[in-house]
Chain A
Amino acid sequence: MRRRRWPLLSLLAFGYAFLYVPILLLIVYSFNESRLVTVWSGFSIKWYRELLHNQQLLEAAWLSVRIAAVNATLAVVLGTLAANALVRHGRFRGRNAFELLLTAPLVMPDVIIGLSMLLLFVAMQHGLGWPDGRGFTTIAIAHITFSTAYVAVVVRTRLAQMDASLEEAAMDLGARPLTVYLRITLPLIAPALLSGWLLAFTLSLDDLVIASFVSGPGSTTLPMVVYSSVRMGVSPQINALATLIVAVVTLAVIIAGVTSLRGSRTQRRR
């Protein structure tokens, strides 16, 4: 009997549609000539031109990218250290508590993280005189606190899968612990560090709630600008900006895919 394929295929089509039709609409309407987002009146790239002159939006985007990069980098460092402690240091005292406290931010509501960070920063400013006001630094710190948890989970999985005898073999061959870490462990968990970095970057770029709590005057992140301008009525400039971001992300994914594919192919050929 021939298997009927249309039920499965239509299910697949529905799934893709569910995920990507909204993004597709967004892209299409970024080329809309009309000021009204929901009415098509002809093709135009005028919103892209206007976007280039929208100083506020561009500054916000640049700030967000900087925060995301700093956040991702520091979160990878801290998260990797935490993952190392969990995987490589056996059953130390307080390990269970450490594990619980490390991963708690994963399930903590953003509102609570944001509010508690705000209270902390205000108290610190009073008591220590630092941070002086709120802005780039406070947003980055707040983002690092929860991004670290995500990175730790990703890196930990990879570390646990790694054969511990590789590190022992390196030590047996005369490598001191630091050399072992730099020459053996790090290269082997590098993919996890990269995906941890990208994850942290995205989480930060994406965050509206926490940033709203801990930002100050003059430090408005991209999601905050988008959110407030949408409340005034959606400008197609936002569509244009979103389209650009999607394009950059797609390009990055394609480049990453191609390089890794090429890498594995050359390996097979040898």
Chain B
Amino acid sequence: MPIALDRRNLDTWQDPKATPYVRIERVSKRFGEHHAVEDLSLDIFKGEFFSLLGSSGCGKSTLLRMLAGLEYPTAGRIYIDGVDVTDVPPYSRPVNMMFQSYALFPHMTVAQNIEFGLKQERLGRGERAERVDEMLELLRIAELRRRKPEQLSGGQRQRVALARSLAKHPKLLLLDEPLGALDKRLRENTQFELVNLQERLGITFITVTHDQEEAMTMSTRIAVMDAGQIMQVDTPTAIYEYPSCRFVAEFIGSINQFEGKVVESDGDQLLIETRLGRPMRVRNFHPLALGTPVTLAVRPEKMRLCLDYREDGVNQLRGVVEDIAYLGDVSIYRLRVEGQRVEMTLTNTQPRTEQVLTWDQEVAIEWSPTSAVVLTE
């Protein structure tokens, strides 16, 4: 999994007294019969790097465009910094957007592109030039100032688009798939740069992405969306470790799921009976009645080889290796356990040739009760 960047002192959403910077209140958007966004409410706080994550057509872009004023909600209100902007046209909002296609004006140079928004603000010539220089410097593209967009590489265009959208010093920056058009290496570097930039400028960022790695690396919080609704809003860690429903669990990373029901409650732990044979032990914070149908979910990397297998061991199972996928840093093992398929990821601490696990080998595995989650929906 990608490394989540360390973000200290950025948990305003946990402060009950904090007022949200962006408040989306029961917003719906319909295009004819199609419901792009459906009764959606969301609070985003000052200084956040917030990601809207979902597959294409889930309504995340429509939501972003409504924040920019490029679409108007069919129902509901949107507040930015306490002001109701629902009906405010895009040119009067304290918001700027970086478009997925970058939308650089092809008939203007890089400097003219950056200056465009400042001209609309009727800033004086001197101040405009100063601000353009500041942006060129901030994104380290001073040498490109006289170029036209067609003479730039993809990465350069992205920086120019970013410079242009930051030039007006917006309080809120919207980014539509900001790294979508870049190749993998460039994307990784740019991720860190975007986060540093955001922290330095203190601007609230809201980005739309379909790339979970990107969202995990950069965001303070993520909203996972599906079919015009938010499935879960939380920090990257919580989204990954404690998904609230099966959709989120499946959308982020891969996960083993076993259907079953609650058979015993023991303090903060539950015993779940599944088709894996013995009941499985799992930590759970929400009280669940006996007999409740649930899904037990375990991430592949939470499993480990079991060295002291016992018939009555906690969360211990026996299986056979069916498939091995070698990915370099890790290997994914597909096991068959009690007729069920189980995926396990192990770090390749030794060269592949030295490894002990091989096809058709019988193995014992286990996981800690705190490593699994119980999903009820």
Residues on A facing B (Cβ under 8 Å): 163, 165-166, 168-176, 179, 183-184, 187-188, 267, 270
Contact present for B90 and A184 (CB under 8 Å) = no
Give the docked Cα–Cα distance between A168 and B174 (Å): 13
Among the interface residues A165, A168, A173, A270, which one has the most CB atoms of the partner chain B within 10 A? A173
* Residue among B96, B105, B148, B164 with max Cβ neighbours from chain A (10 Å): B105
Q: Is B82 an interface residue (CB 8 A)?
A: no
State whether B107 touches A188 (Cβ < 8 A). Answer: yes
Q: In the complex, are the beta carbons of B120 and A173 less than 8 A apart?
A: yes
**Per-position 1/0 for B93-114, Cβ under 8 A of A:** 0011101110101110000000
Are A173 and B147 in contact (CB-based, < 8 A)? no
Which of these, B91, B103, B148, contacts A163 with CB under 8 Å? B103
B13 within 8 A of A: no
- Nearest CB on B from A239, distance (A): 44
Residues of chain A lying within 8 A (CB to CB) of residue B148: 267, 270
Tell me if B168 is interfacial: C-beta within 8 Å of chain A. yes
Q: Determine whether the beta carbon of B117 is less than 8 Å from that of A173.
A: yes
- Contact status A172-B70, CB under 8 Å: yes
Instruction: For A172, list chain B residues within 8 Å (CB).
Output: 68-70, 90-91, 95-97, 165
Contact B151–A270 (Cβ < 8 Å): yes
Let me know if A170 and B116 touch, CB within 8 A.
Answer: yes
**Which residue in chain B gives the minimum CB-CB distance to A175?**
B120
Residues of B within 8 A of A170 (CB): 105, 116
> What are the residues of chain B within 8 A of A267 when measuring CB–CB?
148, 150-151
A165-B101 Cα distance, complex, nearest whole Å: 8
Q: Tell whether B121 is near chain A: CB-to-CB under 8 Å.
A: yes
Question: Quick one: given A163-B101, A165-B101, A187-B107, are A171 and B146 in contact (CB under 8 Å)?
Answer: no
What A residues does B91 contact at CB under 8 A?
A: 171-176
Structural contact, A168 and B103, CB atoms closer than 8 A:
yes
CB atoms of B68 and A174 under 8 A apart = no
* Residues from 73 to 100 in B contacting A, C-beta threshold 8 Å: 89-92, 95-97, 99-100
- The residue in chain B whose Cβ has the minimal distance to the Cβ of A268 is B151
The answer to whether A175 and B146 touch (CB under 8 A), given A165-B101, A168-B103, A169-B103, is no
B residues adjacent to A (C-beta < 8 A): 68-70, 89-92, 95-97, 99-101, 103, 105-107, 116-117, 120-121, 146-148, 150-151, 164-165, 168
Instruction: For B116, list chain A residues within 8 Å (CB).
Output: 170, 173, 175, 183
Q: How far is the CA of A62 from the CA of B167 in the complex (A)?
A: 53
Are A188 and B106 closer than 8 Å at their CB atoms?
yes
Which residues of A have CB within 8 Å of B106? 166, 188
**Which of A165, A176, A179 is close to B103, meaning CB atoms less than 8 Å apart?**
A165
- Tell me the nearest residue of chain B to A162, going by C-beta: B106
Residue of B nearest to A167 (CB): B103
CA distance A188 to B107 in the complex (A): 7
Which 8 residue pairs spanning A and B have beta carbons closest together?
A173-B117, A174-B120, A169-B103, A165-B103, A171-B90, A187-B107, A172-B97, A165-B99
Bound Cα distance A172, B70 (Å): 8
Contact residue among B90, B92, B151 (Cβ-Cβ distance under 8 Å from A168) = B90
A173 B168 Cβ-Cβ under 8 A: yes
Closest to B167 in A: A173
Residues in A whose Cβ lies below 8 Å from that of B97? 169, 172
**How many angstroms between the C-alpha atoms of A163 and B103 in the bound complex?**
8
Task: Choose among B69, B92, B95, B97 the residue with the greatest number of A CB atoms under 10 Å from its CB.
Answer: B97
14 A–B pairs (Cβ distance < 8 Å), ordered by A = A166-B105, A171-B69, A171-B89, A171-B91, A172-B69, A172-B70, A172-B90, A172-B91, A172-B165, A173-B117, A173-B120, A173-B168, A175-B91, A270-B147
- Tell me the complex Cα distance, A250–B193, Å: 55
Excluding A171-B70, A172-B70, A179-B120, 8 further A-B contacts by CB distance (< 8 Å) are A166-B105, A168-B68, A170-B116, A172-B69, A173-B117, A174-B120, A187-B107, A270-B148
| A270–B117 alpha-carbon span in the complex (Å) | 25
How long is the Cα–Cα vector from A165 to B176 in the complex, in angstroms? 12
CA distance A168 to B65 in the complex (A): 10
**Are the CB atoms of B168 and A169 closer together than 8 Å?**
no
CB distance from B191 to the nearest CB of A (A): 23
> In the complex, how many angstroms separate the beta carbon of A160 from the nearest chain B beta carbon?
16
CB neighbours of A169 from chain B (8 A): 97, 99, 103, 105, 164
Q: In the bound complex, what is the Cα–Cα distance between A102 and B360 (angstroms)?
A: 73
Give the distance in Å from the alpha carbon of A176 to the alpha carbon of B91 in the complex: 6
- Shortest distance from the beta carbon of A92 to any chain B beta carbon, whole Å: 14
- In angstroms, Cα B38 to Cα A100, docked, is 37
CB distance from B156 to the nearest CB of A (A): 14
How far apart are B61's CB and chain A's nearest CB, in angstroms? 11
A165: chain B residues at CB < 8 Å are 99-101, 103
Q: How far is the CA of A270 from the CA of B97 in the complex (A)?
A: 29
Closest to B161 in A: A169
